[in-house]
A and B are shown apart, each in its own frame.
Chain A
Amino acid sequence: MSVLTVNSLGKSFGGVRAVENVSFEIGKGEFLALIGPNGAGKSTTFNMINGQLAADTGEILIGGKSIAGMAPRDIWRLGVGRTFQVAATFGSMTVVENVQMALISHASRLLNLWRPAASLYRERALELLAQVGMQDAADRPSRELAYGDVKRIELAIALANDPQLLLMDEPTAGMAPRERNDLIKLVKQLVIERGISVLFTEHSMDVVFSYADRIIVLARGRLIADGDAAAIRDNAKVREVYFGTGKTFQGASS
């Protein structure tokens, strides 16, 4: 059974059809890239899958269960972690506390009024930070971090509930090319080690083509291609959307 199934999903904002009749699946342990030009509807798709936006049409199944009408926090409890295109962390907390917050929530201990939170799950949080290479910054206020580092914290937070599915909306935006590669490599490794399924968007084609197991392409809200790197590279429709006809992806990265 697929981890995520999306069936003829649609969403309009006023007159703009942001997403139209989109269907795809992700299998267990699959590293799936969702690409498309700016405004193609990628973030909108993410927002519907994590419950932030209600779909107008179609259905979304996670582990075979429809998520219609569920709030983001309930979908998270189904084992779906997410990072945002514009990274969001808790600015008044330290890096490690950000991760602890997710662990505390995962353990359903949010209503505890007594135990000092700073000592709860600190070890586990440090382990997660170590995985994303941020253990040295653990006790710094998260608002002081560089943007690329914030993105990595977000990844650590998203991993806190042992997700089955990770939704990463432009996880590498604002990072240097080297950093991008490292982060995606790290995520890929997690996919392999833990069998997590990942849906991610990414503007750097180099990264997408070297790491994604499969790629789906959105343009103006519609799904125009679905296949492996080679198939997408050779797909005429995709080329047209990205470069007009005739050009190739060689050396293209933003």
Chain B
Amino acid sequence: MTLDAFLFQALNGLSTASGLFFIAAGLSLIFGVTRIVNIAHGSLYMLGTYIAYTLATKIGGAFGFWGGIVLTALFVGVIGAAIEMLLLRRIYRAPELFQLLATFALVLIFNDMTLWLWGPEDLLGPRAPGLAGAVEIFGRRLPSYDLFLIFVAPAVLILLHFALAKSRFGRLVRAATQDREMVGALGVNQAVLFTSVFALGSLLAGLGGALQVAREPANLAMDLAVIGDAFVVVVVGGMGSITGAYLAAIIIAEVKALCIAIGVVDLGFIKFNASKFTLVAEFIVMAIVLIVRPYGLLGKPQGNVRSVAEPEAPIRPAAPLLKAFAAVVLALLLALPVVAQSSPYVMVLATDILIAVIFATSLHFIMGPGGMHSFGHAAYFGLGAYGAALLLKSAGFPMLAALLAAPAVALLGALLFGWFAVGLSGVYLAMLTLAFAQIVWAAVFQWETFTGGSNGVIGVWPTAPFNKAWVYYLLALALAVISVLLLRRFLFAPFGYAMRAGRDSALRAEAIGIDVKRIHWLGFAIAGGICGIAGGLFAFAKGSISPEAIAVGRSIDGLVMVLLGGIQTLVGPMVGASVFAMLQDTIMRQTEYWRGLLGCVILFLVLAFPQGIAGAFSMLWSRFDGKRGGRA
């Protein structure tokens, strides 16, 4: 590789950084003031690109393009304000995780709205009027528009910087970002401040998206792709710091550009193509920053992480009524193959539900009693699935051995990642776990020779007798029952108590000899291992495993399941997983727009049952019970 090629890539990186900066700056600003991690921010960016495309092509000409970009930014800002006023305002007091869930529901809704309005094809906008050419730099041709982008980001950064430094609005924003208590003291102003910050952040996302219109085609996968990058940038830069976001955007974009520029590396014993590992590299940067500087490059330690949920009631062993109910459910599940003989589909759906139950219960183990809100539980699902599939295909393991090895692979991964993750808490822990999950995802996606790349591993079919759907279902049922009972047993044992002790009060726990980090680390590993069972079962149930199945969406599905069921109850995750898997399945077969519908359902549930479904039931129950006058 020549120096010129290298420098050229570096320039390319800078123009990519500008898009990253716009979305990350908005995200960071919103988080700083409202403490909401807006997952829908990527959707606003995507909307920006689509709307700018429409304006540029429908109106056309220089006004359609340049004027369109400005109009788009303003319009997306208005959408942001509407989101804040109609939805978020109702849930500022809800637990952090519910807010995430609500914004994730928006992702689903926006994605399907976009599909409905613009259709599934990729849409590439026109060249930028006035900047259609290219300039010769380092012996290559760099589009003038890219050069323009390189300068827009710092210009906006400086503008924002002065706006925030000089205005009353800016002072409020900074005060709110630095001092939580201040926000309460703002009184009436708070609502206005939050709405305007949300509008400004959304405007920046819309602007960033709109500016991409001449550079890359608008497509429906942009939202999640870009939000992933944006999280990395915000976390690396430091939550709430706009300059940090710019710095981080450049670092991330340059690291990626560097990977591309380096190309094939031959270390003698191993040869790999670095340009294929851009995604892995990005998340490795984030992981390193979080480990070394937990609050990001320019971030400041945030005061106490907000207590996330209502205080939880003591856990009690299952009452006889619940035990009887569980026995009935189990009997019904065992009888299901007989009942459903005529419909093989029921067996498939039931197996999916069981897999979801294992997945959600293991996630709940660390989220609820452990208080660790993992945003990357898909990593362990993926390690289990790929572990089983590759052991079967490449190492020649028999099916059952591969399936049993799945949790071991996931356990090892969770031991490694968990060791770093338990050093953090709150949003930072969520982001680091997400980063690890993305590393796993990106590695299997980009390491084609070993994992089959985007095609995944195929032909992972169970051998007799498990090749019959109903037998495989019974195997899944057995593993699900074992997993759930094991995790439950652990929770009632000293280990589970110690985990909750560390969550309730780390100070007190340490003062009575509990090594909180160690306990939480082991808890994390156990959850990862059990989750690996779900992954292994999934691979054999589908006969294949691909990166898509272990992407960020799966981690989020897990969160939705746990929150749907109610994080404070032990049966919650099972209820949540079953409801979610059935909903997903039934809606999916009804309409092409199942994501949007699912999003609406989630929004409804979040607004109607802030305690989760099982939580709402147990509340009703205790009210009813209280009226009867019983209960200790």
Contact = CB atoms under 8 A, between A and B. Distances in A.
Contact of B498 (A50, A74, A101, A118): A101
A105 interface: yes
B319 interface: no
B508 A88 contact: yes
Contacts of B312: 91-92
A149 B122 CA distance: 65
Interface in B452-508: 489-490, 492-498, 500-501, 503-505, 507-508
A62 interface: no
A102 B512 contact: yes
Contacts of A157: 508, 512
Interface residues of A, number: 41
A120 B494 contact: yes
Contacts of A109: 494
Interface string B515-552: 10001001000000000000000000000000000000
Given A110-B514, A113-B493, A116-B492, A84 B500 contact: no
Nearest to A139: B632
A50 B312 CA distance: 29
Interface string A84-119: 100011111110010011101110011111111110
B505 A89 contact: yes
A71 interface: yes
Contact of A84 (B494, B497, B501, B508): B508
Interface in B223-259: none
A92 B504 contact: yes
B511 A117 contact: no
Interface string A109-145: 1111111111010000000000000000001010100
B489 A114 contact: yes
Interface string A26-53: 0000000000000000000000001010
Contact of B314 (A73, A84, A94, A104): A94
Interface in B71-89: none
B139 interface: no
A77 interface: yes
Contacts of B522: 111
A109 B500 CA distance: 15
Secondary structure type dominating chain B contacts:
helix
A93 B493 contact: no
Contact of A118 (B317, B495, B514): B317
A72 interface: yes
A81 B569 CA distance: 33
Given A73-B514, A84-B508, A92 B314 contact: yes
Contacts of A97: 314, 497
B493 A112 contact: yes
Contacts of A92: 311-315, 500, 503-504
A101 B515 CA distance: 13
Given A88-B505, A94-B314, A113-B490, A160 B512 contact: yes
Nearest to A116: B492
Contacts of A88: 505, 507-508
A111 B495 contact: yes
A188 interface: no
A88 to B, nearest CB: 4
B489 A90 contact: no
Given A88-B505, A89-B505, A90-B505, A76 B493 contact: no
A94 B504 CA distance: 12
Contacts of B489: 113-114
A73 B515 contact: yes
Contacts of A77: 513
Contact of A117 (B313, B496, B504, B510): B496
A161 interface: yes
A109 to B, nearest CB: 5
A99 B317 CA distance: 19
Contacts of B503: 92
24 contacts: A72-B511, A74-B513, A76-B511, A77-B513, A90-B508, A92-B314, A93-B500, A93-B501, A94-B314, A97-B314, A100-B497, A102-B512, A105-B512, A105-B513, A105-B514, A106-B513, A111-B495, A111-B522, A113-B493, A116-B317, A117-B493, A117-B494, A120-B494, A141-B314
Interface of A: 50, 52, 71-74, 76-77, 82, 84, 88-94, 97, 100-102, 104-106, 109-118, 120, 139, 141, 143, 157, 160-161
Interface of B: 311-315, 317, 489-490, 492-498, 500-501, 503-505, 507-515, 519, 522, 632
Report the 10 A-B pairs with minimum CB-CB distance, sorted nearest first. Answer: A88-B508, A90-B504, A92-B312, A105-B513, A102-B512, A88-B505, A112-B494, A117-B497, A73-B513, A110-B498
Given A101-B512, A104-B497, A139-B632, 8 more contacts: A77-B513, A91-B311, A91-B312, A106-B513, A110-B513, A110-B519, A113-B495, A157-B512
